[in-house]
Chains A and B, each alone.
Chain A
Amino acid sequence: MSSERVEVPPAPAPPPPGGAAAGGADAAASGDESPSVVRTRTVEIVVAILLLGFAGVMGFDNWRTGMGWAPDGPQAGYFPFYLSVILACASLYWLAETALKRQRSASPPKSFVNREQLGRVLQVFVPTVLFCVATQFLGLYVASFLLVAGFMRWVGKIAWWKCLVTSAVFSVAMFVVFDIAFDVIMPKGPLEALFGR
């Protein structure tokens, strides 16, 4: 019963991407696409500014460490300091190039990510963050069970029993391979403590 019901939900899911790919040819490119969340140009400017800030912080710290030239060669901060300077220059160039480009071209702005895409990216990014949090408190194996089962269920819309079986088999297999066979130690939580591992 449940397995029959499963086959239905995934079916509507695949068409949009296939349709979008095939429809791209006949529909005017931006016509049927979901609205852009942020333009590539904006992201480029933000990234360039962040890099500039990063270069500033690193440059300052290395200046404090000592960026001079001691008798026996450069001090500890010498290389990173000048690399920060180069990084700052390259970021400035990027910033200027991106900011000035806008005045010249009148073509429609390039979208960095549209709403539909952002939704899908968050679908994988948010669970990954939650997984990292769970790893910190519950240990990696329990967290991986939750991630695989949860992701399959909510993103893949796969039947419950399949999700649970797959993720249980996966987590146990990982435990056997890493913890027992290869002696690679992973973060563990209360559940593993219960079994005395």
Chain B
Amino acid sequence: MEAIGLLLHGFAVLFTVKTLSLMMVGLVLGIFVGVLPGLGGPNGVAILLPLTFTMDPTSAIVMLSCIYWGALFGGAITSILFNIPGEAWSVATTFDGYPMAQQGRAGEALTAAFTSSFIGSFVAVLLITFLAPRIAAFAIRFGPPEFFAVYLLTFCSFVGLGREARHKTIISMCLGLILSGIGLDTVSAQLRMTFGWKELFRGISFLVAVIGLFGISEIMITMEESLSLRGHAARISLRVVLKVWKELPRYWATLLRSAAIGCWLGITPGGAIAASFMGYNMAKRFAKDKESFGKGRIEGVFAPETAAHASGTSALLPMLALGIPGSGTAAILLGGLMVWGLNPGPLLFVEHKDFVWGTIASMYLGNVVGLVLVISTVPLFASVLRVPFAAIAPMIVVSCAIGAYAIQNAMFDIWLMLLFGLVGYVFKKVGVPLAPFTLALVLGSRAEDAFRLSMIGAAGDLRVFWSNPLVGTITTLAVALLVWPIVSALLARVRGAPAGSTA
């Protein structure tokens, strides 16, 4: 119950004209970013991060997280009206959303998408409100060995549970970890991997990498695919909204199941993309008439949207409580925390109560306001897509350059951004996942510091990672996740061999 008191305090922090107006600005920008193909949640947040450098941390995160909510809402608009997912996590929404629009039920589909997004986020925010303080209170006793074990678990779960080819995940992660090490080594104060090149002394900012990898490369991919935008008209009347809402209780099981899937995949680094597909498939599996899916069934919109948003929101839980981002966007927000001079981790809940609870309160408010805003302004945002891409593409490039330059006021970073853009384009096309790269780049130096501090504490004895039940469990779990693919492959072979011989 303490959480409720603190949450009310958070709302009090939030209710200033400045914060509320920043919230609106963030939501509008976010929806805009989500609607545009070639720009998404992570890029939008990364590009707009420089705007917040001169703000106080609370206003900054309120605005940035509202951009994120907005992007989550906006992604659904293009999926349903244009059959073009504005975000990877809205791909599953197109399966039933677009057929609904074709049948002239666009308003219904959009209302369903927005409402279920709202429900998904709401469940996740509830989870954050009551779980995050407990986790933080628990984690406050963590020393460097425990933190290293948690980082290790994060990395290993990417390798063990990722959907891409494992060697490509490993390549992506190692590359990120190596690049994060460039520059001044914080423990020994030695320079490394700079080759005497002054520009590299500062190290490679992961925001520059993110802007290049996601922003610039996404523009190149969008140009290559040369999308033609021919959408369906959208008008949402109050009658349609009420009709959908009246039907809502009937689908409680789908909504709840998707929300649970989303929360789970958001906290573990499964991500919103996996969540939306899993939510959709589960809804299909449990349905009585499976054939009607894909032909414009409202449940096919409810399920993926709820899951995607629950996941996108709950990805912020480990970021707030442990300083470990559950998604790419959460990683960028984490980078923001460091820029604003906050030290991410469980101490946030003690040292920066205003910030943490203001953030959580803004999640509630941002989602409510976002829902109203997005329902009332759909036609406006849908018309954004009729602006020629030739006008939008260069503006995105300019915004990317501004974002990259502002981080360290270095022209070198603009060139670096360009290089990362090229790398991102090639990596996307050959199937090297970018999420492990981002995560490694943001967590790399923290993980290394944790490891080396625990080594200094334990006089170089590796057994410190099994020195107490807690750290031992986490480390063992991490190692198990890492070798699990090998074990399961071996098991399959052992089981497969006799089966093959009998056949």
Interface residues of A (CB under 8 A from B): 10, 14, 16-18, 21, 40, 43-44, 47, 51, 54-55, 58, 61-62, 65-66, 69-77, 79-80, 83-84, 86-87, 90-91, 93-94, 97, 112-113, 117, 120-121, 123-125, 127-129, 131-132, 135-136, 140, 144, 147-148, 150-152, 155-158, 166-167, 170, 174, 177-178, 182-187
The residues of B with any CB-CB pair to A shorter than 8 Å are: 50-51, 53-54, 167-168, 170-171, 174-175, 177-178, 181, 185, 187-188, 190, 192-193, 195, 216, 219-220, 223-228, 230, 388-391, 393-395, 397-398, 401-402, 405-406, 409, 411, 414-415, 418, 421-422, 425-427, 429-430, 432, 448, 451-452, 455-456, 459-460
CB distance from B371 to the nearest CB of A (A): 27
B182 to chain A, nearest CB (A): 8
Contacts of B167 in A (CB 8 A): 90, 93-94, 97
- B430 and A44: CB pair below 8 A? yes
**Alpha-carbon gap, A73 to B460, bound state (A):** 5
Contacts of A93 in B (CB 8 A): 167
CB distance from A196 to the nearest CB of B (A): 20
Contact of B455 with A73 in the complex, beta carbons under 8 Å = yes
Task: Give the residue name and chain of the A residue nearest to B227 (CB).
Answer: A17
* CB-defined contacts of A155 to chain B, threshold 8 Å: 390, 393
Which residues does chain A contribute within 8 Å of B225, judged by CB atoms? Answer: 17
Inter-chain contact A186/B393, CB cutoff 8 Å: no
17 contacts between A and B (CB under 8 A): A17-B225, A51-B171, A70-B460, A80-B178, A86-B170, A87-B174, A87-B175, A125-B422, A127-B394, A132-B414, A140-B398, A144-B394, A152-B388, A152-B390, A182-B53, A184-B402, A186-B406
Report A-chain residues with C-beta under 8 Å of the C-beta of B394.
127, 131, 144, 147-148, 150-152, 167
Is the Cβ of A87 less than 8 Å from the Cβ of B391? no
Inter-chain contact B429/A112, CB cutoff 8 Å: yes
* Known pairs A87-B178, A147-B398, A151-B394; A21 contacts B228 (CB<8 A): yes
Are the C-beta atoms of A91 and B171 separated by less than 8 Å?
A: yes
Known contacts A76-B185, A128-B216; A140/B430 CB under 8 A:
no
B319–chain A nearest beta-carbon distance, Å: 24
Alpha-carbon separation in the docked complex, A156 to B226 (Å): 12
Bound CA–CA A55/B179 (angstroms): 11
Q: Determine whether the beta carbon of B393 is less than 8 Å from that of A187.
A: no
Q: Contact at B190–A65, with CB atoms within 8 Å?
A: yes
| A184 touching B50, Cβ below 8 Å | yes
- Known interface pairs A43-B426, A121-B224, A182-B51; A131-B193 also in contact (CB < 8 Å): no
Cβ of B193 and Cβ of A80 under 8 Å apart?
Answer: yes
Contacts A61-B192, A65-B192, A73-B460 given: A43-B223 contact, CB under 8 Å?
no
Report if A94-B448 is in contact (Cβ < 8 Å); known contacts: A62-B192, A184-B406: no
User: Do the beta carbons of B395 and A148 come within 8 Å of each other?
Assistant: yes
Most buried by B among A40, A79, A152, A167: A79
B429–A40 touching, CB < 8 Å? yes
Known: A40-B429, A43-B430. A148 touches B391 (CB 8 A): yes
- Checking A170, A182, A185 against B395 with a beta-carbon cut-off of 8 angstroms, the contacting residue is A170
Point out the residue from B219, B398, B411, B421 that lies within 8 Å of A136, measured CB to CB: B411
- Smallest CB gap from B229: residue in A: A14
**Contacts beyond the supplied A72-B456, A72-B460, A76-B188: 20 A-B pairs with Cβ under 8 Å:** A17-B225, A47-B426, A74-B451, A77-B192, A83-B174, A87-B174, A117-B224, A121-B220, A128-B421, A140-B401, A140-B402, A144-B394, A144-B398, A144-B401, A148-B395, A152-B391, A155-B390, A156-B388, A174-B398, A187-B405
Nearest opposing residue in chain A for B406, CB measure: A184
Chain A residue at smallest Cβ distance from B187: A76
Q: Which of B224, B452, B460 has the most CB of A within 10 A?
A: B224
Question: Quick check: A132 and B51 within 8 Å, CB to CB?
Answer: no
Contacts of A97 in B (CB 8 A): 167
Measured in the bound complex, the distance between the Cα atoms of B50 and A113 in whole Å is: 34
User: Does A16 contact B226, Cβ atoms closer than 8 Å?
Assistant: yes
Q: What CA separation (Å) do A157 and B170 show in the bound complex?
A: 44
Residues of B within 8 A of A167 (CB): 394
By a CB distance below 8 angstroms, the chain B residues around A170 are: 395, 398
Q: Is the CB of B170 within 8 A of A90?
A: yes
Distance A152 CA – B390 CA, assembled complex (angstroms)? 5
Nearest Cβ distance between residue A4 and chain B, in whole angstroms? 17
Structural contact, B193 and A73, CB atoms closer than 8 A: no
Which A residues lie within 8 Å of B216 (CB)? Answer: 128
The listed residue with most B CB atoms (<10 A of its CB), out of A10, A65, A73, A74, is: A73
Are B195 and A61 neighbours in the complex by a CB distance under 8 Å?
Answer: yes
Which residues of the other chain, B, contact A117 by a CB distance below 8 angstroms?
224, 226
Q: Check A71 against B460 for contact (C-beta < 8 Å).
A: yes
A129-B193 contact given A83-B177, A140-B401, CB 8 Å threshold: no
Q: A71 to B455: give the CA distance in the assembly, Å.
A: 9
Closest Cβ neighbor of A163 among chain B residues: B391
Known A-B contacts A51-B175, A140-B401; A158 and B391 likewise in contact (beta carbons under 8 Å)? yes
* CB-defined contacts of B177 to chain A, threshold 8 Å: 79-80, 83
Residues of B within 8 A of A61 (CB): 192-193, 195
| 4 A-B pairs with the lowest CB-CB distances in the bound complex, closest first | A156-B390, A73-B455, A87-B174, A151-B394
Contact B388 A74 (CB under 8 A): no
Chain A residue nearest to B190 (CB atoms) is A76
For B422, the chain A residues whose CB sits under 8 A away are: 125
Residues of A within 8 A of B421 (CB): 128
Q: Chain A residues near B414 (CB, 8 Å)?
A: 132, 135
